[in-house]
Every structure is written in C-alpha cells, then in structure tokens.
Amino acid sequence: MAYTPIIGTLGYIMSEDGQQVLMIHRNARPDDLHLGKYNGLGGKLEAGEDVASGLKRELHEEAGIEVTGMTLRGTVSWPGFGKNGEDWLGFIFRIDHWTGTPFTANPEGSLEWVPLERLLQFALPLWEGDPYFIPLVFSDDPRQFHGVMPYRDGHPESWSYVLI
C-alpha cells in the first residue's frame, strides 16, 4: 500500500547562547490534540512549498522570527499518529540563527524559553515518543537521523532509526 503521509516540519529554536530552547506550551485550545504538551514549533506544508520554506513560514507565523540559519537534524515517519490515525512525516530542524523578538504566545499557546538541560531530562509534558528522537536533535553527532515510530491509539508502538 502506498504511504501518503501529511508532511510537516518541526523546529527547535535555540537561544543565542545555546542553553535554552523556545518551546510552545499547547495550552490555548481545549480541542487541541496536543493540549498540555510542550513541543517545538512548525506545522504542515502548503501546496507548492519546500520543507525549508515551510518551516521558515511557520516560525514567522507562530513565533514572529526570521530564520537565518537552520540545520536539518533528521526525519521521523509517524504512521498512525494523527487524530484519526493519519500518517505523518516530519522534517526536524535545529534553528541556531534567527532575528527578531519571539512572541510570548500565539493562538495555540504560550511560548517559553526552556533550559536545554530540562528538555533533555524530559522534565516537561511531552509526546510519549519525543524522548526517543529529541536527544538526536541536540546530539554533537553531525549525521542526520531518519526514524520510524508507528503510533496506535495515541501511543508509540516502536522506534527504529538510522544515522547517515
């Protein structure tokens, strides 16, 4: 069967000193599948949009910043992740260079600078699968990761990845 996922982007915006990450606390919409969780910023691609441009657009809309430098850290295929079991394919970036003053909130929730150490200790409410790939986003290993994390009933069933 053909794999036809929703394509999305996810960006982790670093503070100038590299010690904090700008995260969204999804706390604004009661019907939000992500309600209560912390996440990087990003979203769905629009028709005719490349992945890098899509992420830049999303970060401008969601955080009010202009990205001037980003690194693709990897991809994750999430079969069954969506609210109705839709498949997702996410391109995951680390954003080390940007300009502007980030918003403090947007229609999805509040934006918060979180110490990187706290994120890597998983001391925030995150998606259950995030601890599998988040360390790879912030790893000193320059290789990209490409993983698969099937979901069923809102929970990851497994995780596998390669580094290239």
Q: What is the pLDDT of residue 131?
A: 97
Question: In this structure, is residue 130 part of a structural domain?
Answer: yes
Per the structure, the count of domains in the chain is 1
Question: In this structure, is residue 120 part of a structural domain?
Answer: yes
Question: In this structure, is residue 54 part of a structural domain?
Answer: yes
Question: In this structure, is residue 29 part of a structural domain?
Answer: yes
Q: What is the pLDDT of residue 34?
A: 85
AA identity, residue 58: E
Question: In this structure, is residue 1 part of a structural domain?
Answer: no
What's the domain range around 137? 6-163
Contact predicate 55/70, CB 8 Å: yes
Identify the CATH number of the domain in which residue 96 sits. Answer: 3.90.79.10
Question: In this structure, is residue 41 part of a structural domain?
Answer: yes
> Could you give the percent of the chain with pLDDT greater than 90?
93
> Could you give the percent of the chain with pLDDT greater than 70?
100
pLDDT, tens digit, for every residue of 26-82? 999 988 888 999 999 999 999 999 999 999 999 999 999 999 999 999 999 999 998
| Span 133-144, average pLDDT | 98
